[in-house]
Chain A
Amino acid sequence: EDQVTQSPEALRLQEGESSSLNCSYTVSGLRGLFWYRQDPGKGPEFLFTLYSAGEEKEKERLKATLTKKESFLHITAPKPEDSATYLCAVQAPGTSYGKLTFGQGTILTVHP
């Protein structure tokens, strides 16, 4: 069974204090790893897709990296508007028809 574990569950940062979120996964082959951002009362907003180990993607203050066992979401000099829940999800060949298996998320709070 595919499993995704995110850590920490919650992270509090000061504005400008860089840090990383972790997503560990266990799948029988990986078709894609996805990062989403979710604000309260909203649906998940797509950020990145990573397909193979060694791949990196960047968007503004966010950078996602991937190894064979985990992915990191690095946040550089965060701002209060980066506060949200960050979700990681995987697709695997054994997963029928592209459904996503999600982790529990990391709640990020950035204080001014």
Chain B
Amino acid sequence: GAGVSQSPSNKVTEKGKDVELRCDPISGHTALYWYRQSLGQGLEFLIYFQGNSAPDKSGLPSDRFSAERTGGSVSTLTIQRTQQEDSAVYLCASSRNGGRGSNQPQHFGDGTRLSIL
């Protein structure tokens, strides 16, 4: 498809387990963003990629969270030793370009709904 694709759409796991969430951005989009959406919290920025590098990781809530991007395309968000407070919808977005001068619209996937038991 032409849009941002995320998998899995739903993930249920036990507290303490590690999870990996995947994002396939729109073809040709160099900028990629991860956000988290929780009830009552709205959408919170996690991390930004330009190509394969991550100049801004300021939104990652703890060192249990990490992300990488390969080939300037697919990105994986990994959460280690999951906690119940990690339960949320994790959204990925991409845009044509990024950087300090960018104001291109970001296009979102449908997210991964993560539930920690």
Contacts and interface: CB of A to CB of B under 8 A. Distances in A.
B50 interface: yes
Contacts of B43: 44, 87, 89, 100, 102
Interface of A: 31-32, 34, 36, 41-46, 49, 51, 87, 89, 91, 93, 96-105
Contacts of A93: 100
Nearest to A49: B105
A97 B110 contact: no
B111 interface: yes
A104 B39 CA distance: 10
B94 to A, nearest CB: 11
Contacts of B50: 97
A96 B103 contact: no
B107 interface: yes
B14 interface: no
Contacts of A43: 4, 6, 91, 93, 108-111
B111 A99 contact: no
Interface of B: 4, 6, 31, 33, 35, 42-43, 45, 48, 50, 55-56, 58-59, 91, 93, 95, 98-100, 102-111
A45 B108 contact: yes
Contact of B48 (A32, A96, A103): A96
A96 B4 contact: no
A32 B102 CA distance: 9
Contact of B58 (A42, A96, A103, A104): A96
B111 A96 contact: no
A51 B111 contact: no
Nearest to A47: B105
Q: What 8 pairs across the A-B complex have the smallest Cβ distances? A: A43-B108, A32-B103, A102-B43, A98-B102, A99-B45, A96-B56, A43-B110, A31-B103
